[in-house]
Amino acid sequence: MLLYNFLSERFLNFKLEPIVFNSYLIFLHKNIKMIQRIQTVYLLIAEMLIGALFFVPFAEIAGKEGNIYRFDIKGIYLEGVQKAEIIYGSLPLVILWVVSMILILATIFLFKNRILQMRLSRINIFILLGLGGLIYYYVWSIAKILMGVFSLTVYLVFPFIAAILIYLAIRAINKDELLVRSIDRIR
């Protein structure tokens, strides 16, 4: 515990404080305020929405022969087969998904550097809009190649909802920055 406190004070700028509650020892750190900020809530919800994209399908494509294909973050594969083999991969989607997840997580933990937090959030909005557009482009072009029709799922709007939440987080971060500047100006 002493080593952990030393390392956390040295590199993470917080110290764990023991709190005894019902004879259990619970450790909390002084910077718990990060979770209490509304922008952190917006960013956490956006992170959950983008994380859910890994587990849900974006669309189903009915091919010319009557085969049904499913499209998710990993690619397009034939549905109803024992061992589903990916027909068309979607590496650019995976890359944008990972970059977006990392940027949101980094933005959450950069709560002391508000200007960088806003810049990363703006970049992330463009990445999410690109992700949503690229998903639609993939579905449209693969349906064209397979000469079939496609039906989109509701999960396609997750990147756009996450972009709106990140925009709301930017506004809240900007309010905090303006408040800090006004307090500094008074001093």
Q: What is the pLDDT of residue 36?
A: 64
* Residue that the structure tokens 């974006």 belong to: 58
pLDDT at 145 over 70: yes
- What is the pLDDT at residue 183? 83
pTM: 0.76
Does residue 162 register a pLDDT over 50?
yes
Backbone dihedral angles phi then psi of residue 154, each to the nearest 5 degrees: -70, -20
Distance CA 17, CA 1 (A): 11
Contact 132, 156 (CB under 8 A): yes
Domains and CATH numbers, the chain: 1-31 (no CATH), 33-186 (1.20.140)
Partners of 72 in the β-ladder: 75
pLDDT at 33 over 60: no
- % of the chain exceeding 70 in pLDDT: 80
The fraction of the chain above a pLDDT of 90, given in percent, is 49
pLDDT of residue 35: 53
- Beta strand spans in the chain (E): 16-21, 24-29, 59-62, 68-72, 75-78, 86-89, 149-152
Which residues are paired to 86 by β-bridges?
Answer: 77
- How many other CB atoms are found less than 10 A from the CB of residue 145? 13
Sheet holding 68-72, edge to edge: 86-89, 75-78, 68-72, 59-62, 149-152
Residue with the bigger pLDDT between 5 and 52: it is 52
Give the closest residue to 128 by CA, choosing from 144, 146, 107: 107
